Structure 1
Amino acid sequence: MKPLTASVLSALLLLSSAAHSQSGKNLPKPLRKPLSSISPAGFKAHVQFLADDQLRGRQPGTPGYKMAVDYVVAQLQQRGVQPAGENGTFLQTVQLRRAITEAGATLRLIPAGPASTLAYGTDFTLYPNPVQPETTVEAGLVFAGFGISAPELGYDDYAGLDARGKVVVLTRLEPTRFPDAVRLYNTDLLTVLQTAARHGAVGVLLAAPKSTMKLPDPPKGLVSVLGPDGKVAVSRSFQPQIQVAGSISAATLQRLFAGAATDTARAMAALRAGKPASVALLPRLAATQRSRYQDVTSYNVVGKIEGADPQLRQEYVVHTAHLDHLGVGAPVAGDSIYNGAHDNATGVATLLEIAGVYQQLKPQQRPKRSVLLTVVTGEELGLLGSAYFARNPTVPREKLVANVNTDMPTIIAPLLSVVALGAENSTLAAPVAEAARTLGLTVEADPEPAQNRFIRSDQYSFVTQGIPALHIKYGNKTADGRNNLSEQVQKWRAVTYHKPQDDINGQFDFEAGKTYAQLNFLVGYLVANSAQRPAWNPGNFFGERFGK
């Protein structure tokens, strides 16, 4: 039997009923039995183990996380998945460094005087430096608006501004003149730091847009990935040239504008109107800080299902889900273990169930391309495991053709519609639509665009390496016709998300988990079996930025 092609699947779909069917009656016959191997009970069993208290919240570098890794490896082996990690194993080592700012960090304005001293935690915070245990910077200051430099889009906060050797001060006010994709990319912290470094800055201070906003000060520090050479290989909050980075309050921003050619009110008004408001600031700044480090070893898990085509099997569709969660933390309602059942034991369960489907396929039914099932570490720390894998894959990087990510699908109600975050950027939208039709699901636009979900999970690590990627989330459709699932999820998130209450005793619809896993399998299968590898849509922002 030849592999089931996309065109054959389309033809079969035309012959099937368009009605929704959880029983699998609408599935093309060659896939019906393999997909029926996914069961709500099997899905739940994975979640139950991974979210058990004995795993202590699966924090990277802990015994609980290693227990989760061992479970995933054993499950992949049982399902006939081949190891695709390092040295013939399922594992890719990810060396994590947690950097913590020591007490005593200072920020002073020069010339010196009693009024020039700023209070840590109230007026400013400084991010730790993962490579320099001690940092001292004295430099001039410039205000560069949003920190966006995109002359090709007709906007440049750095135009006419000399930032060389300076500390750049930026507002975290949200720009409104750009489409979502442009805004998301250009205001991402890593992009902001890279842009400042490209213009010669030695420091970046991010100003709170409102006086009521509390300064961010991560109590557990900031985490990077070290490469085999011991240098920082991946970081969401560090650039080597940027020696000092941190946050300042809105009141501190006003102090920095003293004596400048404009004031904060006029600068912010111009930015809200979509016009740059960059200006040199008169004070000089002196910053000192000390950083200490905690290095731990963690792991990505990588398995392979080999494709059927002698040539295309050298290309790979990558399914990802993050295995880590928050570990043990501050008690909430008497519970201090952050189990991460929804976030993201459900995503890992999805990949394990996909492995089970492939085990049921006859060799000649497998898709043309190979499939990687990649369970990553450090998502909660800044997409670190996926970023490390996307930059240093265990197969040739140019052979990665697409990423299908799953992160907290929030299966709390019947799955009737989905949102494919990022699919609109590339030809991946077509297999998503086709797979959804197979299962009687509706594909909807993102009901929560303000959540910036596209850049907040592991698919974005692949996008920044030029690889088309998507992340399938719940839609808004409900069985009662009120179509308010997004509202229900927001209420659930307020009491459960990133709290110990996200455990197996919470709200679940494991039948929805079954459908979600089937959908992710079908999307990956169609992409892996297509004659053409996925491509960015012409003129797409992410394709233009990264795809070339």
Structure 2
Amino acid sequence: MRPITFAALPLAFALIGAAQPATTLPQSSAAERVRAHVTFLSSDLLEGRDTGSRGHEIAASYVVSQLQALGLKPGGDKGSWYQQVPYRRATLDGVPTLSFTSRGGSVPLTHGADVTVRPNLVTRNMKVNAGLVFVGYGIADPVLGIDDYRGVDAKGKIVVAFSGTPKGLRSDVSAHLGQVKPQTAAARGAVGYVEIPANPLGNWGPLVTSAARPVTNWADGKGGSGQGRAAPLLRMSFSKATAERLFAGARQTLAAAQSEAAAGRQPKGFALTGQLRVDATSKWEDFTSPNVVAVLPGTDPKLSNEYVALMGHLDHIGVRKGAKPGEDAINNGALDNASGVSTMLETARSFVASGQAPKRSLLFLAVTGEEVGLTGADYFATNPTVPLPRIAALVNLDMPLLLYPFRDVIAFGAEHSNIVKAVDAAGRAMQVSTTADPMPEQGLFTRSDHYRFVTRGVPSVFLMTGYANGGEAQWKKFLGGCYHHPCDEVGQGIDWEAAARFGELNYRIARQLADAPERPRWYADSYFGRTFGGSQPKLAR
């Protein structure tokens, strides 16, 4: 692993890191407190804390009781501790009817074999009869100077794009671009969006499996949804045979376009042949699930109206369906993410117990819906209970792997802003090094809740315990074993002293962010700063 060398950054930009954190309490006491929190939050009583479940409600009530006992103030809706997130689960109501019309006439298509239609969260009945266009990878990004829509009119059309992104992009940028392709299609006036494999040998997958899968996201009942401007889009999957049929008679065959992508050349967009007619109806189930929001007021007259947010997701994946009699079916989620929320609670306690109130206010968020697409964080970022521009920075606590005495961390997002200074200073004080992402192929930058704040312009950091001192073996064992399985529970050998150290590290980072004279700034050469930082002042690196 190649270490990130922070010392080379110009001293003139070290706006963060000057404030010294107050002495924290003994780690042995902190370890037992974290153990107690994790033990309760991952108990069978909570049945895996699924979004919208009674178990998650109990977990949220527990977190509120702990924050209230520390003397924090409610920061949710209408003076409460909660922000209720309005969720909708959409499933198909009946079997969609589909047909494809070309010069050879009209042919019916079979749902689940030729085409699979996804349920829709904002439009009950999707009736579309539209032409189709191919747009390469479907990326249009002014910062990178990429526009796969150049020369293609997507208005009123169904967009067909290759999955993935071109080679040569940073892993975090690539992961982001892959996330926003449906929104890009919607912005160009498309009425539908489909992805197909760019690799000629790619896996098209069994369409019938995805046909039965519900779609869950927040939906406010007024047309607003966590899917944003892409919410009304008709979303589908195609079989290989259907895709080849659409490309027949077009400027290129599907095989030719895939060969071009495989050779590293950027495929050009063009119109496809024929019209696709779809008539699909969705049925909806509406429910709510709470975010917990608490505030520790700052004391500085000039800085207290700004916030440093500490966030961890409280939900997990619930009870495994189809378990055999007597088989453990509860996905307890001890590390994912009872550990992160418990660390957040210990960080809150450290601030209160230090006797040194922060200069900026602190916002503590235990969010729901991370396991269903970062939806609780997205709802808060869309409907914040404090003005979003006042959130100066965010520290995300998600699934620290506390199975070994870690010596290094990966600080996702830190390099995009001078938050990196706070991370560096905190690590030096605790003899914890910062190393580069050892598994960029996982796209972790866009797979945790901080990402929803980054795309709203909030400099953020997400720490993952690193590969040193046995960490690599532990990560591979966990991801290949107890991750999202019932064995992610307190009995898997959690190192509670490591948990206390992780809490202290995050406390030190948050303390410096809260007390620094200047709020964090994006670096001027950061893709995310340039894309989402708007008119915020930027720093040269």
TM-score by length of 1: 0.89
Residue in 2 aligned with 1:539? 525
Instruction: Write the letter of the residue equivalent to 1:138.
Output: N
Residue in 1 aligned with 2:23? 31
Change (3 A) 1:213 1:300: same
Shift of 1:510: 1.6
Correspondences of 1:484-495 after superposition (within 5 Å): 485-495=471-481
- Does the residue aligned with 1:138 lie in a helix, a strand or coil? strand
Q: Distance in 1 between matches of 2:115 and 2:173?
A: 28
Correspondences of 1:495-506 after superposition (within 5 Å): 495-506=481-492
Q: Distance in 1 between matches of 2:478 and 2:163?
A: 28
Match among 240, 253, 275 for residue 266 of structure 2: 275
Residue in 2 aligned with 1:206? 195
Specify every segment of 5 or more residues in structure 2 that has no aligned partner in the other structure, as ranges: 1-15, 535-541
Runs of 4+ in 1 over 4 A off after TM superposition: 35-38, 111-115
Shift of 1:41: 1.7
Shift of 1:543: 0.9
Residue in 1 aligned with 2:149? 158
Note if contact 2:143-2:527 (Cα within 8 Å) is conserved in structure 1.
no
Instruction: Write the letter of the residue equivalent to 1:196.
Output: A
Q: Distance in 1 between matches of 2:28 and 2:77?
A: 30
Instruction: Write the letter of the residue equivalent to 1:233.
Output: G
Change (3 A) 1:114 1:44: farther
**1:217-266 CA deviation, whole Å, 9 max, x = no partner?**
27551122233xx2243324862452x11222334322221111111222
Residue in 1 aligned with 2:539? none
**1:165-186 CA deviation, whole Å, 9 max, x = no partner?**
1101111144213233332222
Note if contact 2:18-2:512 (Cα within 8 Å) is conserved in structure 1.
no
Shift of 1:38: 5.3
Matched, 1:246 2:273: no
Instruction: Write the letter of the residue equivalent to 1:488.
Output: Q
Shift of 1:462: 0.5
Note if contact 2:123-2:232 (Cα within 8 Å) is conserved in structure 1.
no
Q: Distance in 2 between matches of 1:403 and 1:338?
A: 28
Shift of 1:310: 1.6
Correspondences of 1:102-141 after superposition (within 5 Å): 102-111=93-102, 116-141=107-132
Q: Which moved more, 1:37-46 or 1:127-136?
A: 37-46
Q: Distance in 2 between matches of 1:115 and 1:502?
A: 52
Match among 94, 99, 102 for residue 85 of structure 2: 94
Instruction: Write the letter of the residue equivalent to 2:18.
Output: S
**1:307-350 CA deviation, whole Å, 9 max, x = no partner?**
12022011000000011111122246722222111111111101
Residue in 2 aligned with 1:349? 342
Change (3 A) 1:174 1:38: farther
- Does the residue aligned with 1:43 lie in a helix, a strand or coil? helix
Q: Distance in 1 between matches of 2:77 and 2:149?
A: 43
Q: Distance in 2 between matches of 1:232 and 1:357?
A: 42
Instruction: Write the letter of the residue equivalent to 1:416.
Output: R
Match among 265, 282, 289 for residue 298 of structure 1: 289
Correspondences of 1:153-232 after superposition (within 5 Å): 153-188=144-179, 191-209=180-198, 210-211=202-203, 213-215=205-207, 217=210, 219=212, 221-227=214-220, 230-232=221-223
**1:182-203 CA deviation, whole Å, 9 max, x = no partner?**
3222211xx1111111111111
Specify every segment of 5 or more residues in structure 1 that has no aligned partner in the other structure, as ranges: 10-27, 479-483
Q: Distance in 2 between matches of 1:358 and 1:47?
A: 20
Instruction: Write the letter of the residue equivalent to 2:280.
Output: Q
Instruction: Write the letter of the residue equivalent to 1:435.
Output: A
**1:66-110 CA deviation, whole Å, 9 max, x = no partner?**
111110010111112111112222111111111112340233211
Match among 372, 380, 388 for residue 389 of structure 1: 380
Residue in 2 aligned with 1:481? none
- Does the residue aligned with 1:330 lie in a helix, a strand or coil? coil
Match among 255, 259, 273 for residue 249 of structure 2: 259
Q: Which moved more, 1:486-495 or 1:92-101?
A: 486-495
Q: Distance in 2 between matches of 1:225 and 1:487?
A: 37
Note if contact 1:79-1:356 (Cα within 8 Å) is conserved in structure 2.
yes
Note if contact 1:176-1:274 (Cα within 8 Å) is conserved in structure 2.
no
Matched, 1:358 2:351: yes
Instruction: Write the letter of the residue equivalent to 1:104.
Output: V
Q: Distance in 1 between matches of 2:421 and 2:460?
A: 13
Q: Distance in 2 between matches of 1:144 and 1:239?
A: 17
Correspondences of 1:64-79 after superposition (within 5 Å): 64-79=55-70
Instruction: Write the letter of the residue equivalent to 1:387.
Output: D
Note if contact 1:139-1:284 (Cα within 8 Å) is conserved in structure 2.
yes
Shift of 1:376: 0.4
Note if contact 2:165-2:177 (Cα within 8 Å) is conserved in structure 1.
no
Matched, 1:508 2:474: no
**1:478-502 CA deviation, whole Å, 9 max, x = no partner?**
1xxxxx5234312221221112222
Q: Distance in 2 between matches of 1:204 and 1:220?
A: 18
Q: Distance in 1 between matches of 2:340 and 2:155?
A: 44
Q: Distance in 2 between matches of 1:532 and 1:31?
A: 23
Note if contact 2:121-2:231 (Cα within 8 Å) is conserved in structure 1.
no
- Does the residue aligned with 2:366 lie in a helix, a strand or coil? strand
Residue in 2 aligned with 1:25? none
Note if contact 1:181-1:542 (Cα within 8 Å) is conserved in structure 2.
no
Note if contact 1:156-1:276 (Cα within 8 Å) is conserved in structure 2.
no
Residue in 2 aligned with 1:476? 467
Note if contact 2:172-2:443 (Cα within 8 Å) is conserved in structure 1.
no
Instruction: Write the letter of the residue equivalent to 2:23.
Output: L
Change (3 A) 1:407 1:303: same
Note if contact 1:38-1:357 (Cα within 8 Å) is conserved in structure 2.
no
Shift of 1:212: 5.4
Residue in 2 aligned with 1:7? 18
Change (3 A) 1:108 1:506: farther
Matched, 1:142 2:133: yes
Residue in 1 aligned with 2:35? 44
Note if contact 1:211-1:251 (Cα within 8 Å) is conserved in structure 2.
no
- Does the residue aligned with 1:403 lie in a helix, a strand or coil? strand
Note if contact 2:162-2:195 (Cα within 8 Å) is conserved in structure 1.
yes
Instruction: Write the letter of the residue equivalent to 2:194.
Output: L
Shift of 1:438: 1.3
Note if contact 1:224-1:233 (Cα within 8 Å) is conserved in structure 2.
no
Q: Distance in 1 between matches of 2:204 and 2:283?
A: 30
Q: Which moved more, 1:179-188 or 1:395-404?
A: 179-188
Shift of 1:128: 1.1
Query: Over the residues paired in the alignment, what is the CA RMSD in angstroms?
Result: 2.1
Change (3 A) 1:410 1:60: same
Match among 378, 384, 394 for residue 403 of structure 1: 394
Note if contact 1:332-1:500 (Cα within 8 Å) is conserved in structure 2.
no
Shift of 1:49: 0.7
- Does the residue aligned with 2:155 lie in a helix, a strand or coil? coil
**1:410-460 CA deviation, whole Å, 9 max, x = no partner?**
211111110000101111111001111111101000101010000111000
Instruction: Write the letter of the residue equivalent to 1:459.
Output: H
- Does the residue aligned with 1:76 lie in a helix, a strand or coil? helix
In the comparison of the two structures, how many residue pairs are matched?
512
Note if contact 2:103-2:274 (Cα within 8 Å) is conserved in structure 1.
no
Q: Which moved more, 1:268-277 or 1:442-451?
A: 268-277
Change (3 A) 1:240 1:219: closer
Q: Distance in 2 between matches of 1:62 and 1:73?
A: 17
